[in-house]
């Protein structure tokens, strides 16, 4: 199935060290406890891309909008955001960090000579602002800027934004078996429980998520992944193979572990 779904080229998700345990009460009701030190090292960090698109549209038969940096002296109805990061062509250069107050595509529309514009206009005002600001809740880095022409021969621009998303309390995660849950709290590595070998989990899920939902393959995957990491090869988790729970248990015992994958753990707060 990994070949059919192209998971080798583009894997879905990451492998984490997961403990199924009650710890401090912050993983009740489908919450999960996550290791803050693992997050700081880059666990489950992702990039979010959003594209902003705009076109120089025709206004009437002859007048055309223009990509440029609007000047306050000659442009009406400027937005509340800042125009400082725009170049003279009305676009932000790739690699520039922008936030919710910034305008990322500068564009103006010519005003007809006889238009009053509700009394705001002076003789210097010859344009009206039609710029595109960044969404107020977002910030990030300009990843790519594409300037081209459409089928009508008019200029259009695409600006792609890149934002790094770091896991935090309230973010939702799920295993491949539909066991979903949100982060209830994050603990630093020294406050997480650890095994007799000193292994600290990245994630603690609640044991109550298992029996009623009967996700048996989830437990088999946990058991098989432990054997795979010890032996250093991929385990075949697909059905209709010769692999059984007993055969995996036997391999675990050969490596000196409890046959079903249980571990003695020590409390990170007390050390006992």
What are the start-end ranges of the E strands in 77-125? 97-98, 103-105, 107-110
The pLDDT, as a whole number, for residue 76 is: 85
Query: Across all residues in the chain, what is the average pLDDT?
Result: 91
88 pLDDT tier (thresholds 50, 70, 90): very high
Tens-place pLDDT, residues 229-270: 999 998 887 778 888 999 999 999 999 999 999 999 999 999
DSSP-derived secondary structure letter, 139: -
DSSP count for the chain of H helices, then E strands: 3, 19
Q: Quick one: what percent of the chain has pLDDT higher than 90?
A: 72
CA distance 119 to 117: 6
Where in the chain are all domains bearing CATH 2.40.270.10? 18-44+167-266
* Mean pLDDT calculated for residue range 56-79: 84
Whether 143 contacts 51, CB under 8 Å = no
- 30 part of the active site: yes
Q: Which stretch of 20-29, 42-51, 118-127, 246-255 has the lowest confidence by average pLDDT?
A: 118-127
Tens-place pLDDT, residues 182-218: 999 999 999 999 999 999 999 999 999 999 999 999 9
Tens-place pLDDT, residues 108-130: 988 876 665 555 556 667 888 89
* Mean pLDDT calculated for residue range 77-90: 90
CATH superfamily of 47-165: RNA polymerase II, Rpb2 subunit, wall domain (2.40.50.150)
Whether 108 contacts 129, CB under 8 Å = yes
Q: Quick one: what percent of the chain has pLDDT higher than 70?
A: 95
Which two tokens mark 119?
């009394």
Q: What's domain 18-44+167-266's architecture? A: Beta Barrel (2.40)
Residue 81 pLDDT greater than 90, yes or no: no
The pLDDT, as a whole number, for residue 204 is: 98
227 pLDDT tier (thresholds 50, 70, 90): very high
The pLDDT, as a whole number, for residue 119 is: 55
Residue 20 pLDDT greater than 70, yes or no: yes
* Mean pLDDT calculated for residue range 45-63: 89
- Give residues with Cβ within 8 angstroms of 101, minimum separation 6: 80, 81, 82, 134, 136
Alpha-carbon torsion 52, 56, 59, 63, what sign? positive
The pLDDT, as a whole number, for residue 116 is: 59
The pLDDT, as a whole number, for residue 121 is: 58
Task: Give the pTM.
Answer: 0.83
The pLDDT, as a whole number, for residue 115 is: 61
- Give residues with Cβ within 8 angstroms of 140, minimum separation 6: 48, 97, 98, 161, 162, 163, 164
Residue 3 pLDDT greater than 80, yes or no: yes
């Amino acid at each position: 199935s990994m070949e059919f779904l192209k998971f080798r080229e583009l894997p879905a998700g990451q492998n984490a060290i997961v403990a199924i345990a009650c710890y401090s009460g912050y993983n009740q009701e489908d919450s999960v406890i996550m290791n803050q030190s693992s997050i700081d090292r880059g666990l489950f960090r992702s990039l979010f891309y959003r594209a902003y698109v705009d076109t120089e549209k025709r206004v009437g038969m002859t007048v055309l909008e223009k990509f440029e940096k609007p000047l306050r002296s000659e442009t009406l109805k400027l937005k509340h955001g800042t125009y400082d990061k725009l170049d003279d062509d009305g676009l932000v250069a790739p690699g520039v960090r922008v936030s919710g107050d910034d305008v990322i595509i500068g564009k103006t529309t010519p005003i007809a000579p006889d238009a009053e514009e509700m009394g705001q206009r002076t003789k210097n005002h010859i344009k009206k602002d039609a710029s595109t600001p960044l969404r107020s809740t977002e910030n990030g880095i300009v990843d790519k800027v594409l300037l081209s022409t459409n089928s009508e021969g008019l200029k259009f621009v695409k600006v792609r934004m890149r934002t790094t998303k770091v896991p935090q309390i309230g973010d939702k995660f799920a295993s491949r078996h539909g066991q979903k849950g949100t982060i209830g709290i994050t603990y630093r590595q020294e406050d997480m429980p650890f095994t007799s070998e000193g292994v600290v989990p990245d994630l603690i899920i609640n044991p109550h998520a298992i029996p009623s939902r009967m996700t048996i393959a989830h437990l088999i995957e946990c058991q098989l992944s432990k054997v795979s990491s010890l032996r250093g090869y991929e385990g075949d988790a697909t059905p209709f193979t010769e692999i059984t729970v007993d055969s995996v248990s036997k391999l675990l015992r050969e490596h000196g572990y409890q046959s079903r994958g249980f571990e003695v753990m020590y409390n990170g707060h007390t050390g006992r």
